Structure 1
């Protein structure tokens, strides 16, 4: 890279894109030029002007359907980060365009199909251009997979992995998150059950767990890549499951009802409800807190062959939970700027270590702990 690297944030005015820019403004100790995109250039520039940083931030009007290649030719970024989502039905056009232009590429996808075929679609062009393409640089699978790998590094066997995310109710939620959630409603999603890939219905069959420093939350199963990825990678004997839980009981039971209605065929296209759910959330937010978290239970046999169950948990307060999904991307950006990631296409946990992600947490009200239970 030259003396002033260019970083392009696609979807830079959305919830996660804005959080990433805010985080880099306080944590990135380098002279860069940061470009953030929105369909409206005025909106992008307004967000850029609102963030104080020691480096330049510029707003750019961008619609990937009409000017994808032109934007890369005009800006010529060194690193491109896609925060737009959702990735459930996404293709690799943006990533391919970035790599073809000579830019590294990072995204925060958690969608199973997208991540599953990422390397086979992008590895060749990335290596040909001496570039790196990273997917899943978010809470899952970058953070989740690194937690499991770090804790069980010397274990003889993993029997069960249960993961859950429970955001604070006051946290802002964008359309892409709502659309991703609704895409699971009432349809079969992958889980790892009895040592092999199986399925359950998304957003139904809820249960209650106790989240450290937060309390009891009702959670429902959602689709991520963790079930097939961790199940296969670690030869998990029993189950790998991923859940999410909303703080507001009204919201949580509402999504459960939507799951059943979609399963029964009474709602044909749950995604159409996205605008309505965003408006409804404004009514529940005043009655919720700014505390959210994540918890991972892992059971198995330790290095001495003894039965063990560990619980890793994350606590985010002061409404800082929305920073958690962007921290792996920030860590990856810094490693790429220092040429510390090999070339090729890969899932983010192969490019990052847990301590590198947790180091980004020091700039926010986010803490983690691990204990044997």
Structure 2
């Protein structure tokens, strides 16, 4: 049975997951979410070109139990109903109880790193539970592994993402992003844990093709998973950037109000700030970028730097977080793993797998060596 349920299948990233999987003739795709009308509309929109069989269903990720999942009879359930900062493992547990595989697109640090709590029940049910099948840690870890193979010792990793200003994250995701400003972040730096703050440590990064952008520190699962999987690592850092410098510098400045405890949380400003971003959409572009830079030593103990860049144009950036779940779903349906158990999406696919999936999109990847 090759039936796939995509919760949040009409959202910013879930819609891209559904679109890609709908190209597979051997699959049955159920577009699901709280709004049945939106699920129906997206299923109808895909029907014209889809090779898969398409259905839709009303499903609330926060309330669905094993009986609800069983009624849909999926082989794999993909949870794209972020943001995940306020979610628990209710839906994953329901999938385990039903006996279906579970994949989510989470990038919330505690959510992804804590998924191993479900490892024993997932193994007992002979199902696979994967959290973080997204740009981070799914794709970022694939890039790190690809480059680290060229080094004898990996010492530092810096990851960064800057989407194009044309991308509309929606109010809930915007609130999650803005709400992190000024909040403490525990990071592994120079061989010890230190505290930094969300949207601070301001710096510039120059992307090929799209130029330099402001970047600041943000919390992601990689900050825990990199030191855990590479014990010799001395520094792990993640940065995010807004394409429009005025927006980024404004958020950086506002983060100091939270850090100084003059303001408790910026997330209530999300609707107003998102509305302003939409009105000023002409200031940016549809081009976004991602980088992964590693530093280490080769077999001759010489210091080396490698940098992987991804540039997404023509509004294709939102496909990037979708691809890890597409890759893993195809593998699970084909019986090719990952094995039963619950795990973060760290090193579960190769960079070449991602490149193959995006070959038809306006996405280019390059690797630079010092």
Structure 1 length-normalised TM: 0.94
Answering whether residue 171 of structure 2 is matched by residue 201 of structure 1, we say: no
What does residue range 330-341 of structure 1 map to in structure 2 within 5 Å?
A: 330-341=326-337
2:78 corresponds to? 81
2:324 corresponds to? 328
2:38 corresponds to? 43
Offset, 1:318 = 0.4
Distance in 2 of aligned mates of 1:284 and 1:320: 20
Distance in 2 of aligned mates of 1:82 and 1:154: 34
Distance in 1 of aligned mates of 2:11 and 2:201: 31
2:93 corresponds to? 96
Contact 2:62 2:91 in 1 (8 A): no
1:231 corresponds to? 227
1:287 corresponds to? 283
Q: Work out which of the residue numbers 27, 31, 35 in structure 2 matches 1:32.
A: 27
Q: Work out which of the residue numbers 214, 217, 221 in structure 1 matches 2:217.
A: 221
Answering whether residue 262 of structure 2 is matched by residue 273 of structure 1, we say: no
Q: Work out which of the residue numbers 151, 155, 162 in structure 2 matches 1:159.
A: 155
* 1:107-137, Cα deviation, whole Å (9 max, x unpaired): 1111111122111x21112111111111111
Distance in 2 of aligned mates of 1:325 and 1:65: 22
Answering whether residue 111 of structure 2 is matched by residue 143 of structure 1, we say: no
Farther-moved stretch of structure 1 (332-341 vs 274-283): 274-283
Offset, 1:184 = 1.6
Contact 1:230 1:236 in 2 (8 A): no
Contact 1:84 1:176 in 2 (8 A): no
2:236 corresponds to? 240
2:103 corresponds to? 106
Distance in 1 of aligned mates of 2:62 and 2:228: 36
Q: Which consecutive segments of 4 or more residues in structure 1 shift more than 6 A?
A: none
* 1:324-357, Cα deviation, whole Å (9 max, x unpaired): 0011110001000111111111222343222212
Offset, 1:45 = 0.2
Structure 1 pair 110/286, CA: closer, same or farther in 2 (3 Å)?
same
Farther-moved stretch of structure 1 (255-264 vs 198-207): 255-264
Distance in 2 of aligned mates of 1:178 and 1:266: 21
Structure 2 length-normalised TM: 0.94
1:318 corresponds to? 314
Q: Could you say what secondary structure the match of 2:22 adopts?
A: helix
Farther-moved stretch of structure 1 (217-226 vs 68-77): 68-77
* 1:177-231, Cα deviation, whole Å (9 max, x unpaired): 3133123211111221111222201012311111122111000100001122112
Q: Could you say what secondary structure the match of 1:22 adopts?
A: helix
Distance in 1 of aligned mates of 2:294 and 2:300: 16
Offset, 1:10 = 0.6
2:365 corresponds to? 368
What does residue range 334-349 of structure 1 map to in structure 2 within 5 Å?
A: 334-341=330-337, 342-349=339-346
What does residue range 60-75 of structure 1 map to in structure 2 within 5 Å?
A: 60-75=57-72
Answering whether residue 177 of structure 2 is matched by residue 181 of structure 1, we say: yes
Offset, 1:237 = 4.6
Q: Work out which of the residue numbers 252, 257, 265 in structure 1 matches 2:253.
A: 257
Offset, 1:13 = 1.6
